[in-house]
Amino acid sequence: MRKVIYILGSLLWSFGSLQAQQAASYAQYMFNGLAINPAYAGSHEVLSATVISRFQNVGLEGAPNTQTFSGHAPLFNKNVALGALFIHDKFGVISQTGAHLAYAYRIKFGDRKYLSMGAQAGLISYRANYSQLNQFQSSDPVFQEDIRQMRPNFGLGAFFTDEKYYIGLSMPHLVNNVFDRGTNLKTVYQNFPIILTGGYMLTLTNQIKFKPNLLFKMLDQRPIELDVNANFLFDEILWAGLSYKVGSALDLIVQVQVTDQLSVGYSYAITTSPIRSVELGSHEMLLNYRFKYRKYGVITPRYF
């Protein structure tokens, strides 16, 4: 049964004259903004590196998995920040790897208020190892040869933050990449997503803070995707919360501030779509390290 589902998933990924594919999604996007917005670069005020590993639909052979590394830091004048983002996404016999460099220009408004405008540029590699499906002896020419293709990508974003809230708007994939798979079958990658994010920090008591977050993703010819999140911060050490991806999954999120520089996060997604009967949910692990800790810069980076 698992193999059948894996095969069907791979075929659905591949078939169709035009198929809009999605950018990798994250349960803990609020702790790794560079993955969706180049203007996020430098917002931690120090050199910051994040690693995320996500395994979706555990229990299904060939289920999607994503590995991400991002790093960013402001330069010496604080108005300019640079970042780098590497993403590897795999589903069945198909994989996509992207490498991007980000640039952000930051304008300061008073104490801890920044408006940042960013851009990114990079390459996306598409691979389809159809030869791994030869055990089915398909005569369809689409599955006779492996495919290796590479395309450029560009993105833009804006990000405003202060001590209590943030707002972000980004278009991380401006190039409507088309990967030719022969016999007039093509895949459109990303299809111009527009992503709007926002969050607010509320102090409930001296020990407890509450931070709701929202993420809207708008895609051409597709319904708007909505992610509603609620996180609580206990004693400036432990984050605990829930996210609901409307019509898709419920995420349980925990993050621990191990030291002033190191934080570790984990999320478990309970699938709410029909596929839930044949899989065991999704797991996501996050590790963030900030290489140069400064007391006067810790409040905003910890929250946003």
Give the pLDDT of the chain (304 residues) as one tens digit per residue.
Answer: 444 434 434 433 433 333 434 455 789 999 999 999 999 999 998 999 999 999 987 777 778 899 999 999 999 878 999 999 999 999 888 889 999 999 999 999 887 789 999 999 999 998 888 777 755 555 666 666 778 889 899 999 999 999 899 999 999 988 877 766 555 556 655 567 899 999 999 999 999 999 999 999 998 777 889 999 999 999 999 999 999 999 888 999 999 999 989 999 999 998 887 776 777 889 999 999 999 755 544 444 468 8
DSSP 3-state helix, strand, coil percentages of the chain (rounded to 5)?
A: 15, 50, 35
Q: What angle do CA 172, 37, 115 make, to 5 degrees?
A: 130
Other Cβ atoms less than 10 A from the Cβ of 1: the count is 8
* Total domains, the chain: 1
Contact present, 36 and 227 (Cβ < 8 Å):
no
- Going through 78-193 in order, the beta strands assigned E by DSSP cover 80-91, 94-108, 114-128, 147-161, 165-171, 177-180, 186-189
Identity at 68, one-letter amino acid code:
T
- Kindly list the distances between the CA atom of residue 208 and the CA atoms of 34, 190, 205, 217, 240, in Å, as whole numbers in the listed order: 27, 39, 5, 30, 11
| Predicted model pTM | 0.85
Residues paired with 122 in a beta bridge: 100, 153
* DSSP 8-state symbol, 300: H
CA dihedral 35, 40, 46, 50 (to 10 degrees): -10
Give me 238's structure tokens. 């432990």
Among the listed residues 171, 75, 157, the one whose alpha carbon sits nearest the alpha carbon of residue 119: 157
Domain ranges, residue 147 = 2-303
Closest listed residue to residue 216, CA positions, set 25, 86, 69? 25
Q: Yes or no: say if 244 and 256 are a contact pair by the CB < 8 Å rule.
A: no
User: Concatenated DSSP letters for 78-109?
Assistant: SSEEEEEEEEEEEETTEEEEEEEEEEEEEEE-
Query: For residue 87, what are the CA distances in angstroms to 54, 216, 304?
Result: 11, 21, 22
> So what's the pLDDT on residue 20?
39
Look up the CATH number of the domain holding residue 162. 2.40.160.40
Residue 271 bridge partners (DSSP): 249
